[in-house]
Structure 1
C-alpha cells in the first residue's frame, strides 16, 4: 500500500483540494443541541432497478417506495417542523453498470473479461443512464433545499464491473472469479460537487474526485457536526483528502459514511473477500480504511455503512483509546411487498430505513437507533410479524425474534462523548 507515503508527503497540496477557503473550526457546542435525528438511507438499488417497474412487467413501480422514503425525510426535516437535521445515503443508489471497463483503469493497463454469475454482472445496461440514474436524481430532488444531505457511490454506482482475466470464473467449482469496479462518470453526472444539489450550499464544505468524496457540516441547536462521505473502497487519495478535512474542522464530532465497511458479524470486510477483492493497489478495503484513516483521528466517533443484507454493529477503540461506533444496515433484500403483489422471491426493500435519534444534552449522551418503513408506516417494533417476515431473509434465522428485533431497535450509549468533545455547559 502507498497510503503512508501519500499521507506523509501531501502537505499543503492536500489542503488545496478543499472546495472552500481554510478556516479553523470552533468548538462544536456553544449551547444545547436539543434532541435531533439523522436519517440513514440504505441501499436503494432494488427500488430503482429498471426491471422492478410496471413498464418491465413488474406488478408495481418499486421506484415509488424510494420516492416515498425521500418524501418522508423531507416532510420530517427540521425545516418542515420535524427533527431530522441531516440525511446520508450509504451507497448502491442504483443497480446496473453501464460499461465493461472504465477508461482510467483501461489506460493504466488493467484487462477485463466478461463474467456471468448474476444478471447484474452479465453485461452493461443502457437503462442505467436512461432510467435508473434519472430516477435516483428525482428522489433526491424531494429533499433538496430542505436539509443538508450526503450520498456516496457504492460498488453498483460505479460505471464498470469487470473481471480480471488472471482470475477467471470457474463454473466447475462455482467460483465467480475476481471482480472489480471503477469509473465515476455516471455518479458525477448526478451528484458531482457542481450539481444543483450541492453547488453554493454553505453546508457542503469540501469535495474530492468530482464529488465522489465529500464533506458536510450540519447543525442541531447550538451544536455543529462534521460528516465525511467516502466512495467505495476509498483510494489512497481519498483518505489523504479526508485527513485534510478532519484537520480543517478539528474538534467537531465526525461521522463517516461509506458503502462497504461492516458485516453482519460486526467485523470489517477484508480484501480476501473474493467477490470484492482489491485489484487496484490504490484502493483500500474496510480494514485498510480503519488502519490508515478512521482509527487515526480521534474526532471520528461513528461509521455508517450498507452493502451487506441485514444489520451489523460493533464498537472498536481507536489509537487514542476512544470508542468508534460502527453501524451497518441494508434492507434491499426484503420482499414482503413483492410477495403481497404476487412476485414472491423478488427483492425490493419494503421502504425500510434507519433513524438515529441523538440525545447529547444529558449527563449520559446516547443515540436511539430505530428502523422505520415508509411503506408500512411503522417502526420495526410495531410490526408483530417483523421477525417472521425478515429474519430468514436477513440470514439471521438462528436468532430469537426478540434478539433479531434488537438488531434494528437499540440504544448506543456514547460513554466517552462528553470527555472527547465537551459536556453541556462547557463550550
Structure 2
C-alpha cells in the first residue's frame, strides 16, 4: 500500500482517449495443452455448465507474510473454506490481486508459496506481482524471488493456464463456467509496453471471449467508495481496457478503502471497476475473501466479502474485533451488479440461437393443434388464415375488434429463444377504446368440441411490453368461447364467462379458469406477477384429474387440488388474443404471442416446446 493520490479532476481520471497500439509482442512462455477445451482443475467438483458459479478474489495478504511477524493461519483457513465450499458454491477460479508479501524476500515468498500449496491442483488460481512483492521497474525487471515462487512454472500444469509473457510476470487463464469460456488476465503492477502488446494479442486470439482484468494498481476510492483511475490505471484504461469491448470487469487491490465505479468504454458499454483491499482491517484483513457470484439466469453478479478465519471460530469465543470483521456489508463490500450478459457480450459474442425447428419436429399423433407465424407469405389482415400445422383442420382466421386498425395486429420477428418458430404476433389491444384482434377457429373445427377427458397440455409463448402502459386488467391470452351457464355450470363467477380461459390480472398474475366437463367445478390457477420485457413459456397441464400451470419450466404454487376432468367445450371457437364475455369481445391482448400448441395428453417439462432452453 502507498499513499492515496491527491484528488484529481474526475474527467481527467476517467478520460477515454485512444492511444496507439503497443508494439513488441512477447513470445508466450508456455501454453497449457487443450486449455481452451478444459474446464478447471478438479472439474469433478464444479458444474461448468451451470448458469451459476463463483470467482473468488483474494486481495493484499502482505501483512500475513511480513518477516518474523508472519502468520499464514488466516490464509490457510481461507483456502480450507474454498476447498470445502467449492462444489456447493461452484467456485471455478480464484485470483490474487498482488502484494502477496510485505517485503518480497525469499523467506516471505517461500512461506507464501508453501501456504498456496493447500490449493495447488485443487482450486485453479492466478497470482500477480504487487509493488511489495518485487523491486521497482516494469515487468522487464528480470528474475526475482517472486518469480521463483509464483512464476509460470507454478501454473503450467493447471488446465486453466493459457500462457504468460516471456518475462513471466503476466499470465492469462481460460476458465469454463456458465456454459462458456472466460479469459482472466493477471497483469503485473507496472506492465510494460511489450506486456500490453502481449495482453492485446491474447485478447485478439480469443476475440469472442469476455475478459476480466486483474492487476494491483488501477483505481483508488474516496471515503464514499467512489472509484477513480490512478495514474497507472489511466494508462491501462487508455491502452487496453477502453479499446477492448471484451473487458467488462476489472479488479485491483493496493489502495484502501475499497470502492467501485462503472465506466463507459469506447464501444459505449459499461466496464465495472472494483477495488478490493482489506489490509487496513483487523489482523491485516485476516485473509478476507471476496466472492463474485455470477448468475447468468438472473443477469446479475452478487458480491460478498468475509473472513473465513473468523467465520470458523466458535461464536461464543469470538472477540469483538473478530465479530465485527467476519463479514463486511457496506455498499462497496456487499452489492450486486446487474448485467444483461447476452446484450453486453453481443458485440463480440452474439448469442447463438437455435435454428427454427420444422413443425414435424414438434407435432406427433397426440398433437391436437399447432399454430406458428413464420409461414412464407403469412398475412394478418382481416380474414387471413393461420394454418393448423397438424393437418387436423383447426385453422385460425384473423379478425380485428371494433375501434381497431391495421396496427392492432402485426407479424413480428421477436421470439422466445426456445421457440420452434422465429416469429410471433404483436397485439396492441386495450380497454379504452375497446380494441384488439383475435384469431379464431372456424365453426366446424374439431377442437371446438374436443373434451380432453384423458388430459391435455396447452402451451404458448408470451411477452409483455416494457413499459407496460395502459389499463389491461383481465386481458385474455387464449380461450374457448361459450358461456358456462350454457354448459349447465352454476359454480363459477358468472354464467356469462367462457368455459376455459387464460387471462392476466391487474397485478399481471396469470389466471387459468376451466369448467370441467365432468361435474360442476371450475378450479382456478394463479401465477406470480409476470415480468415485463422478456419472453416466457406458459404451459397448462391436466393429467385427467388435476390441472397445473407452469411458467418457464417451473410449476407455479397456486394450482388447486380440486379435480378437473376435461374441458366443457360447447362447439364454439377456440380463440387466441382475447377472452369473451357473453360471447362478445371488447378487449384484446397487449403484447406478443408466439407458437401455440395443444396436445391431447399431459406432457412433462422435458417435452415442452422449449425443452432445454429454460
TM over 0.5: yes
* Matching residue within 28, 36, 52 for 2:53: 36
**Cα deviation digits, residues 382-404 of structure 1 (max 9, x gap):** x99789957xxxxxxxxxxx9x7
What residue is the counterpart of 2:365 in the other structure? none
What residue is the counterpart of 1:69 in the other structure? 78
Residue 212 of structure 2 aligns to a residue whose secondary structure is strand
1:351 aligns with 2:260: no
What residue is the counterpart of 1:340 in the other structure? none
**In structure 1, C-alpha distance between the alignment counterparts of 2:319 and 2:330, rounded to whole Å:** 10
* Matching residue within 219, 227, 240 for 2:184: 227
1:74-89 matched pairs, under 5 angstroms: 74-78=83-87, 82-89=89-96
1:370 aligns with 2:304: yes
1:212 aligns with 2:212: no
What residue is the counterpart of 1:334 in the other structure? 281
* Matching residue within 95, 100, 117 for 2:102: 95
With normalisation by structure 1, the TM-score equals 0.66
Instruction: Tell me if the contact between 1:33 and 1:223 (Cα under 8 Å) persists in the aligned partners.
Output: no
What residue is the counterpart of 1:295 in the other structure? 242
How big is the shift at 1:419?
4.1
Q: Which sections of structure 1, spanning at least 5 residues, go unmatched?
A: 54-61, 98-127, 163-179, 272-284, 336-346, 391-401
1:299-314 matched pairs, under 5 angstroms: 299-314=246-261
Instruction: Tell me if the contact between 1:191 and 1:211 (Cα under 8 Å) persists in the aligned partners.
Output: no
* Matching residue within 241, 263, 266 for 1:316: 263
What residue is the counterpart of 1:360 in the other structure? 296
Residue 32 and residue 203 in structure 1: after superposition, are their counterparts in 2 closer, same or farther (change >3 A)? closer
**In structure 2, C-alpha distance between the alignment counterparts of 1:22 and 1:296, rounded to whole Å:** 29
With normalisation by structure 2, the TM-score equals 0.47
Instruction: Tell me if the contact between 1:208 and 1:241 (Cα under 8 Å) persists in the aligned partners.
Output: yes
**In structure 1, C-alpha distance between the alignment counterparts of 2:330 and 2:350, rounded to whole Å:** 32
**Cα deviation digits, residues 199-246 of structure 1 (max 9, x gap):** 233321110144310000111242211101100021111111000000
Residue 296 of structure 1 aligns to a residue whose secondary structure is coil
Residue 219 of structure 2 aligns to a residue whose secondary structure is coil
What residue is the counterpart of 1:426 in the other structure? 353
1:236-247 matched pairs, under 5 angstroms: 236-247=193-204
**In structure 1, C-alpha distance between the alignment counterparts of 2:351 and 2:156, rounded to whole Å:** 34
What residue is the counterpart of 1:411 in the other structure? 336
Instruction: Tell me if the contact between 2:32 and 2:161 (Cα under 8 Å) persists in the aligned partners.
Output: no
Residue 199 of structure 2 aligns to a residue whose secondary structure is helix
**In structure 2, C-alpha distance between the alignment counterparts of 1:315 and 1:4, rounded to whole Å:** 21
What residue is the counterpart of 2:133 in the other structure? 157
Q: How many residues align?
A: 317
**In structure 1, C-alpha distance between the alignment counterparts of 2:112 and 2:201, rounded to whole Å:** 30
Instruction: Tell me if the contact between 2:227 and 2:273 (Cα under 8 Å) persists in the aligned partners.
Output: no
Runs of 4+ in 1 over 6 A off after TM superposition: 21-26, 383-388
What residue is the counterpart of 1:270 in the other structure? 230
Q: Which sections of structure 2, spanning at least 5 residues, go unmatched?
A: 1-17, 40-47, 313-317, 355-614
Residue 333 of structure 1 aligns to a residue whose secondary structure is coil
**Cα deviation digits, residues 77-116 of structure 1 (max 9, x gap):** 24xx54110100000000114xxxxxxxxxxxxxxxxxxx
Instruction: Tell me if the contact between 1:233 and 1:286 (Cα under 8 Å) persists in the aligned partners.
Output: no
Higher fraction of helix? 1
**In structure 1, C-alpha distance between the alignment counterparts of 2:142 and 2:280, rounded to whole Å:** 26
Residue 375 of structure 1 aligns to a residue whose secondary structure is helix
* Matching residue within 2, 5, 19 for 2:30: 19
**Cα deviation digits, residues 142-180 of structure 1 (max 9, x gap):** 11111321111000011x259xxxxxxxxxxxxxxxxx9
Range moving further from structure 2, 303-312 or 69-78: 69-78
**In structure 2, C-alpha distance between the alignment counterparts of 1:136 and 1:286, rounded to whole Å:** 27
**In structure 1, C-alpha distance between the alignment counterparts of 2:336 and 2:218, rounded to whole Å:** 21
What residue is the counterpart of 2:111 in the other structure? 135
Instruction: Tell me if the contact between 1:354 and 1:371 (Cα under 8 Å) persists in the aligned partners.
Output: yes
1:252 aligns with 2:209: yes
What residue is the counterpart of 1:57 in the other structure? none
**In structure 2, C-alpha distance between the alignment counterparts of 1:376 and 1:209, rounded to whole Å:** 40
**In structure 2, C-alpha distance between the alignment counterparts of 1:297 and 1:139, rounded to whole Å:** 35
**Cα deviation digits, residues 297-354 of structure 1 (max 9, x gap):** 001100001011221100001111111011111111112xxxxxxxxxxx52223210
Instruction: Tell me if the contact between 2:303 and 2:335 (Cα under 8 Å) persists in the aligned partners.
Output: yes
How big is the shift at 1:406?
2.0
Residue 418 and residue 198 in structure 1: after superposition, are their counterparts in 2 closer, same or farther (change >3 A)? same
**In structure 2, C-alpha distance between the alignment counterparts of 1:320 and 1:287, rounded to whole Å:** 17
Instruction: Tell me if the contact between 1:15 and 1:244 (Cα under 8 Å) persists in the aligned partners.
Output: no
**Cα deviation digits, residues 32-82 of structure 1 (max 9, x gap):** 5421110000100001112324xxxxxxxx21112211222233224xx54
Residue 270 and residue 138 in structure 1: after superposition, are their counterparts in 2 closer, same or farther (change >3 A)? same
**In structure 2, C-alpha distance between the alignment counterparts of 1:227 and 1:418, rounded to whole Å:** 20
**In structure 1, C-alpha distance between the alignment counterparts of 2:204 and 2:144, rounded to whole Å:** 29
What residue is the counterpart of 1:147 in the other structure? 123
